[in-house]
Amino acid sequence: MKAIAQDRYGSPEVLRLTEVERPVPAEREVLVRVRAASVNARDWHVMRGDPYVARLAFGLRRPSPRVRGTDFAGRVEAVGGGVTRFRPGDEVFGEADGAFAEYVAAPQDAVAPKPAAWTYEQAAAVPLAGNTALMGLRDAAGVQAGRRVLVNGASGGVGTFAVQIAASMGAEVTAVCSPRNTDLVAALGADHVVDYTREDFTRGGRRYDVVLDLVGNRSLTAFRRALTPTGALVLSGGGVSRGGVFGRGSLLGPVALMLKGRLASGFVRQRLTVLTATPSSENLAALAALAEAGSLTPSVDRSYPLSEVPEALRYVEVEHARAKVVITV
């Protein structure tokens, strides 16, 4: 089968379209014929091996597995032993390593039925980003109706889902983004929009019950300044580095902020949480239910064919993509 493989860390040029063996579904796995996949900041970090400390997880000398991509949508081709929830022909979406390929094998517990109203491209945009937003707001922050929620990085992949999910929970949502994206986040349900080129939300007069940080571009002290005395800060890594706060080729990158958050969490009244989002079919089903209720619509910036994954990663890296970038297979 055709897939986008990588044998060393580096720029998008290290990614190549090649022939690899089609995976065989193991116990409790489904084999999915991929119709669409999507790009996440994680794909960029694995491609670059950035920050360097992440190579302890990705692979010291080269990334493992070789095939890039995480999010997918498609049709079940075959099932492994012990699979009870899916059968060949089912339309599904989910998370698994190796999604930039014609086929991907995924644990059934990380896969859910694709909503009929979504295209494959829309469904592929959801899993990692939507799950991160849901777990950050519902599980880590415990958002309730009437709470003041700020999403830092609201126009990115996770951010566009976070704005909609927080609004569906009845929160008063403030979205932080660049001026070209203010209309986008307002249309997604933000009550207030902060243009970060004109205003520093950490130095304004407003205080928030929850700050969901998806960028890592402020100090821990600054983020805490934006919270109420008992507010919650949820740290969910950083996006694609462009030589700004932590810079490309850094040792720790956004991990440094997370470490500071963990260390400080036991000494302050405010809740400081480092989010670890894990794949979950139940969470995918919850996101699908929001879509069916009209509260969640995947926002897609651009689509690229499988052969142009390097260009898609380059676009995410250089052009600061809005919402999600999708790969059609």
**pLDDT mean over 250-276:** 78
The yes-or-no verdict on residue 257 having pLDDT over 90 is no
Rounded distance between C-alpha atoms, residue 11 and residue 134, angstroms? 31
pLDDT at position 250, please?
61
Q: Which CATH number fits domain 2-126+298-328: 3.40.50.150, 3.90.180.10, 3.50.50.60, 3.20.20.30?
A: 3.90.180.10
**pLDDT mean over 263-291:** 91
Question: In sequence order, which ranges of 228-280 are alpha helices (DSSP H)?
Answer: 255-264
Q: How confident is the model at residue 307 (pLDDT cuts 50, 70, 90)?
A: very high
Instruction: Domain ranges for the chain, please list them.
Output: 2-126+298-328, 129-274
Give, in order, the Cα–Cα distances in Å from 157 to each of 76, 100, 127, 235, 324.
26, 18, 11, 15, 5
Per-residue model confidence as pLDDT tens digits over 30-64: 999 999 999 998 898 899 887 777 787 778 788 88
Rounded distance between C-alpha atoms, residue 185 and residue 178, angstroms? 10
- pLDDT over 70, % of the chain: 94
| Contact (Cβ atoms closer than 8 angstroms) between residue 234 and residue 141 | yes
pLDDT at position 263, please?
76
Task: Answer yes or no: same fold for 2-126+298-328 and 129-274.
Answer: no
- Of 127-136, 188-197, 221-230, 264-273, the least confident: 264-273
Q: Which two tokens stand for residue 99?
A: 């999604």
Residue with tokens 């008992």: 230
pLDDT at position 97, please?
96
Half-sphere CA count of 39, side-chain side, radius 13 A: 35
Which sign does the torsion angle of CA 157, 160, 163, 164 carry?
negative
Q: What is the CATH number of domain 129-274?
A: 3.40.50.720
Per-residue model confidence as pLDDT tens digits over 280-304: 999 999 999 999 999 999 999 999 9
Instruction: Report the chain's mean pLDDT, rounded to a whole number.
Output: 92
pLDDT at position 54, please?
73
The secondary structure of 170-239 as a DSSP string is T-EEEEEE-GGGHHHHHHTT-SEEEETTT--GGGSS--EEEEEESS--S-HHHHHHTEEEEEEEEE----
pLDDT at position 64, please?
81
Residues 174, 178, 184, 189: what is their CA dihedral angle, to the nearest 10 degrees?
0
